[in-house]
Structure 1
Amino acid sequence: MRLDKWLSNLQYGSRKQIDRAARDGRITLNGAVVSEASIHVDPKNDTVTFDGAPVVFIPDLTLMMNKRAGVVCAHHDTRFQTVFDDLPLHYARHDLHMAGRLDRDVTGFLLLSVEGALIHRIISPHKQLYKTYHVQTEAPVDNLARFNEPLILKDGRGRPYTIAPPRVVDASGTTTVIQIAEGKHHQVKRMFAAIGHPIIKLTRTAIGGLTLDPDLQEGAVKQLTPEDIARIFA
């Protein structure tokens, strides 16, 4: 890959700006100063610095984020901070995408990856991958059996649909733990509102077989290993 294209993809500037930086001697490749940004680079094996700092490139980067409340799941927003604002710069430079979205007030496990095939495998409704949510309501939910009956909701465009019954993992006091394989617009909130129990706090705690790291602070991220990713589908 051309050096200017690669560095531009990593948000070091436009290709024109990268070319100017090379001519100014601000880029090195394997210890040698680069004068032409049109040269080719092997991102996996070459060592590149920009203004003296190593260029960090992680080919298969996949992250677990403990999303905090108040940020939106978008790359850019004119009103609110986004989940990408919480990323350390060496991660934020990568072309990361989200495996599904969480509402601004919802917290918990958000997966981000540069791997499009992985994202598709997680969010595709045909894969039936369950996500786990901890639901807090004002009062104990004493009518969870309603979820086993046909329950018609409306999606983000106002079109009616019948939800698949969720798996109820636990119900203790005002906290209910459920698993769903669908991901319709505001689905969990709409489900509980439909049975008379509006949600006051909602947290996603697992995607498939991979559970949110309990030591991960809200707003923080950790890089996932191939073993972690395999646990999602175990």
Structure 2
Amino acid sequence: MRRLDQLLSSLGYCSRKEVVGLVKAGRVKLNGVPLTKHDVRVDPHTITLDGEALEAPDGLLAMLHKPVGYVCTHSDGEGPTIYELLPAQWLDRNPAVTSIGRLDKDTSGLLLITDIGTLVQRYTSPKADVEKTYFAELDRNLEPPLVEAFAKGDLMLRGEERPCLPAKLEIVSARTARLTITEGRYHQVRRMFASQGWHVEKLHRETFGSHTLGDLAEGEWQMLELPANVKL
């Protein structure tokens, strides 16, 4: 049970003060009956605003198809941000929405968006072991020994003290490959190829855990079901 004004404010609909006006206008209902108080405690799943159920009252999880050129930050000055692609109301939610992990400006593909801190921890913890698959285009022809080099688990990145975990490399064509990793180090895929003498010219994340982009268009998003046993 949550206080109505706090609930609507935390979901980004309006400020707590503005809830008073919504209630007076009869726009907020509990099981179809207009509410008369803004500070009453309610079950979020019984509330409608303008006849619509509240959006993701238990926490938000969505998938975004990030285009090249967008950055995963709330800060200004680094170019367009992924948050410009999301509904404005999401940006007013409290806790704030954030991406689970990041993709650099020159990488496209699947990003997960959430306002649930425990989900961020679940997916990005070093112990999470979440598989992420990337499609990469390289600057020159690939060579079969790369498959073993990535799979052995002893590949070192410059400036790091421990090797990368074993990764699965599939050579798709002469200069394209699909790479599956379970870590999320800084620019990891690009640095892994660079350590062996290849430069990644294009990079796209196809999957994140059990989620895949499918036919989701670039720049578009879709809501996802929350995993079981999520602690808010």
Structures share fold, TM-score greater than 0.5: yes
> SS of the counterpart of 2:62?
strand
Match of 1:48 in 2: 49
Match of 1:182 in 2: 183
Query: Take 2:117 and 2:83, find their aligned partners in 1: how far apart are those partners?
Result: 17
Larger deviation, residues 197-206 vs 170-179: 170-179
Query: Take 1:165 and 1:47, find their aligned partners in 2: how far apart are those partners?
Result: 49
Q: Deviations over 1:170-222 (max 9, x none)?
A: 34211111111111111111111121111111111112343221x11111112
Match of 2:218 in 1: 218
> SS of the counterpart of 1:125?
coil
Query: Take 1:11 and 1:26, find their aligned partners in 2: how far apart are those partners?
Result: 19
Q: Deviations over 1:96-154 (max 9, x none)?
A: 33221111111111112344443333222213121111111121222514434733224
Q: Are residues 181 and 223 of structure 1, via their aligned partners in 2, closer, same or farther at CA, if it must alter by over 3 Å?
A: same
Tell me the number of residue pairs that the alignment of Structure 1 and Structure 2 aligns. 220
Amino acid at match of 2:155: L
Query: Take 2:167 and 2:121, find their aligned partners in 1: how far apart are those partners?
Result: 22
Match of 2:195 in 1: 194
> SS of the counterpart of 1:121?
helix
Match of 1:140 in 2: 141
Counterpart contact for 1:25–1:35, Cα < 8 Å: no
RMSD, aligned CA: 2.8
Counterpart contact for 2:130–2:208, Cα < 8 Å: yes
Match of 1:173 in 2: 174
| Superposed displacement of residue 93, structure 1 | 5.2
Match of 1:66 in 2: 65
- Unpaired runs of 5+ residues, structure 1, are none
Amino acid at match of 2:154: P
Amino acid at match of 2:67: R
Match of 1:15 in 2: 16
Counterpart contact for 2:47–2:53, Cα < 8 Å: no
Query: Take 1:113 and 1:183, find their aligned partners in 2: how far apart are those partners?
Result: 18
Amino acid at match of 2:72: C
Match of 1:79 in 2: 78
| Superposed displacement of residue 73, structure 1 | 1.4
Query: Take 2:43 and 2:210, find their aligned partners in 1: how far apart are those partners?
Result: 35
> SS of the counterpart of 1:126?
coil
Match of 2:126 in 1: 125
Asked if 1:152 corresponds to 2:151, the answer is no
Query: Take 2:122 and 2:140, find their aligned partners in 1: how far apart are those partners?
Result: 36
1:91-106 alignment to 2 at 5 Å? 94=93, 95-106=96-107
Amino acid at match of 1:170: I
Q: What is the percent sequence identity of the aligned residues?
A: 33
Query: Take 2:26 and 2:80, find their aligned partners in 1: how far apart are those partners?
Result: 32
Larger deviation, residues 39-48 vs 92-101: 92-101
Larger deviation, residues 29-38 vs 177-186: 29-38
Query: What TM-score does the superposition give when structure 2 sets the normalisation length?
Result: 0.80
- Unpaired runs of 5+ residues, structure 2, are none
Counterpart contact for 2:136–2:176, Cα < 8 Å: yes
Match of 1:113 in 2: 114
Amino acid at match of 2:79: F
> SS of the counterpart of 1:44?
helix
